[in-house]
Amino acid sequence: MATKKDVEINSRADTLDLMHPDIRPWPVTPAPPPEEVEKVYAKRKAEDFGKWCEENLRYEYCFGKPEALQGMRFVCCGQWRMGNMFCGGLLCEAGAEVIKVEPPGGDPLRKLTPFGREEYMLESKITGEKCGLDFLHEMRGQKSITINLETEEGRAIYKTLCTQADGVIDEMPPGYMDSIGLGYRDLCEEMPRLVYCNMAVRGTWGSYKDNLSKFGQWTLEPFGGCANSFIHNTGFPQDQLPRGKGGDPTRSGVWFADFCAGEQAANSLLAAMYWRDYLGGTGQFIEVTGSETQMDILDFDISWYGFNASIKARTGAWDPNLNQYEWNPCRDGYMMIGGQTDRLWYRIGMCIERDFPQFGRLIHEDPILKEMGGRNALNMLVKTYTLTTRWLRDINRIEAEQKLLEYEIAAGPVLFIDELSEFPHFKYRPWVCTIDTDHYGTILFSVPPNNYQMRTPHRVKVLGRPLGYDNYEVLQKMCGIGQTQVNEYIEKGVM
């Protein structure tokens, strides 16, 4: 139970802990109780089904269930990027063991923090070492060991480690692992069942592969999005906002191509493993890149050029393929509305015209807007969204959502992280949740969406790991190297 106390604020530092989970626990207001949710199921006569889901899929039950990838082991050797982290995180969530190999100085991603603010890094209660939140959040169950691959002994340890693994994730610069004799072609000979996955931004080979700067700086996101047209195609057009003031090509707020690469790397690894275990018997070589996996999912964009030489242009918060399908500003933020088929299109109209009769008239009477394809023309987007926003500007997000949900329309507000953390549905499942970690105290984190399964739900048990925390265990168990030797290696800079 939170208690009231006096706080003295003399500097910004004094304010930092005011939101600490010990003082202001998440959630601030409790999630709705199951009895309330039963009523929701009953409204659509799905009581039985709802009950079945709650009994079989609930988050709380995941911890007692088996893990799908039990017994699989991966070595992950990558730095700087989210790709290898996300891939390793997914595999861990599904029950695999992932050993992250870092240089003795640590993955530089550990040191990154928003706006360079060290006060937003968390200190391990045990080792005292600080860690940035991006790294901490993606380090979900992976173990951390340190190996200096520049040394002969370090390379030998790494190689032994690989003999104990089913797969390797390599996100080092192009050809680096190969150049030190630890690439796929070196390992596959002794370990024909090894599945080996390269990860990169544009590739480790090819005429536009990743490069390092003269001073050794890595290619990082959003270079991937620059190379596959994603950034060119994202953002508001200069017709909606002036160029240089919002009307420009825009990158994703997160390193999105890295996430695309991470999940496809995990898929490729599992598919290759399936083939190895049940069909072909051998491992293989894989390469997954951010620019290409994001290009894979760029709708039809590049194909469109092949069709009639169109080059996709930015359309801001509107979608050029569907109407309605957009967000527009409302009184307290932005409201997203979607519904393209006639059934949904007219429901949106009925909802809006209840408050704003002119909408019904101008939209439903217009002959062009009666045809689903015709509605997607640019002119029709301008018309529809101008009138929709005319309705939205007078109401808040929550009002708009309630009104639209009455008509069973897919609609939702643009939410910020504080709002979504307190959104009733998101708290109920929950899809952000806290873990009381051994090193870093209570952490709010994003729950894996694959958590809600009947038999082998994916789950997060451990968040964050100090650098080299697992050196002794992993070396003892997988390489037969005891603590004295490990200490020596650490002394010598091998680990």
The rounded distance, in Å, linking the Cα atoms of 236 and 239 is: 8
Comparing CB distances to another protein, the nearer of 302 and 477 is 302
The rounded distance, in Å, linking the Cα atoms of 141 and 91 is: 9
Least gap, CB of 209 to another protein (angstroms): 7
Least gap, CB of 109 to another protein (angstroms): 9
Comparing CB distances to another protein, the nearer of 428 and 472 is 428
Q: Residue 406 corresponds to which amino acid?
A: E
The rounded distance, in Å, linking the Cα atoms of 118 and 105 is: 17
The rounded distance, in Å, linking the Cα atoms of 5 and 110 is: 34
Comparing CB distances to another protein, the nearer of 366 and 470 is 366
Comparing CB distances to another protein, the nearer of 6 and 48 is 48
Specify the pairing of strand 122-123 against strand 130-131.
antiparallel
Least gap, CB of 39 to another protein (angstroms): 9
The rounded distance, in Å, linking the Cα atoms of 488 and 19 is: 43
Comparing CB distances to another protein, the nearer of 164 and 376 is 376
Taking each helix axis as running N to C, give the angle between helix 34-43 and helix 47-57, from 0 to 180 degrees, rounded to the nearest 10.
Answer: 140
CA atoms within 13 A on the CB side of 243: 3
The rounded distance, in Å, linking the Cα atoms of 157 and 169 is: 16
Comparing CB distances to another protein, the nearer of 286 and 475 is 286
Least gap, CB of 351 to another protein (angstroms): 13
Least gap, CB of 142 to another protein (angstroms): 16
Least gap, CB of 141 to another protein (angstroms): 14
Comparing CB distances to another protein, the nearer of 308 and 484 is 308
* Listed residue (142, 164, 240) closest to 465, CA to CA: 142
Q: Residue 138 corresponds to which amino acid?
A: E
Least gap, CB of 14 to another protein (angstroms): 13
* 3-state class (DSSP) for residue 289: strand
The rounded distance, in Å, linking the Cα atoms of 256 and 96 is: 24
